[in-house]
Structure 1
């Protein structure tokens, strides 16, 4: 047996609100829309991971989702220009990532990073 994919499922009364943050700002493709569920995806090959945290590192709150991007500063500019709250950073962390935390339309803290 092998794990092929890990998908976070976030509860919300209005899945359509995800389109701006995850689609327009972060550039994920809407691959399924059933009204009650909207799924966004990337064509990039990814390795399934799941993390368990007592804190978010550097004294930050635990983010519910981490999204690795190729250019964290460009992502930061897009998130900020779209008016989403920046919770932390951007910061260069001692463990080798540059990251920032943003709050999505549902209040979820999203860790956006690059190695």
Structure 2
């Protein structure tokens, strides 16, 4: 299993205001916009990304971190074997990802995903 990316998600009430702030202050571009979730990144690289959201999609809460992996089933099995709480999924989402939410030991919600 290889971690391909970790994305920090910030819960916000007004996406447009926050989006404009990060665009104007840090020159970030919108690289994904689902309405309820906007991801910003520098145009030169996707290594740094910041997502702001009013919900987590499919009626879920906004996760604290999103971690993209190359083998979701492997991570899901590890989480179950470790006794970690699964709070959503696994689910195939209409925007082209398969994912599940789990709690880390501090109670943070992790969105573990792979692109379909």
SS at match of 1:98: strand
* Structure 1 counterpart of 2:52: 52
The 2-side partners of 1:66 and 1:106 are apart by 16
Counterparts of 1:78-89 in structure 2, within 5 Å, are 78-89=78-89
Q: CA RMSD in A?
A: 2.1
Give every structure 1 segment of 4 or more consecutive aligned residues whose post-TM-superposition deviation is greater than 4 Å.
Answer: none
TM-score (structure 1 length as normaliser):
0.60
* Structure 1 counterpart of 2:107: 107
1:61/1:106 CA distance change after superposition, 3 Å: same
Deviation at 1:100, TM superposition (A): 0.2
Flag structure 2 segments of 5+ consecutive residues without an equivalent: 1-5, 9-45
Counterparts of 1:1-115 in structure 2, within 5 Å, are 47-115=47-115
1:110/1:79 CA distance change after superposition, 3 Å: same
Per-residue Cα deviation, 1:79-112 (whole angstroms, up to 9, x for no partner): 1110000010000000000000000000000000
Higher strand share: 2
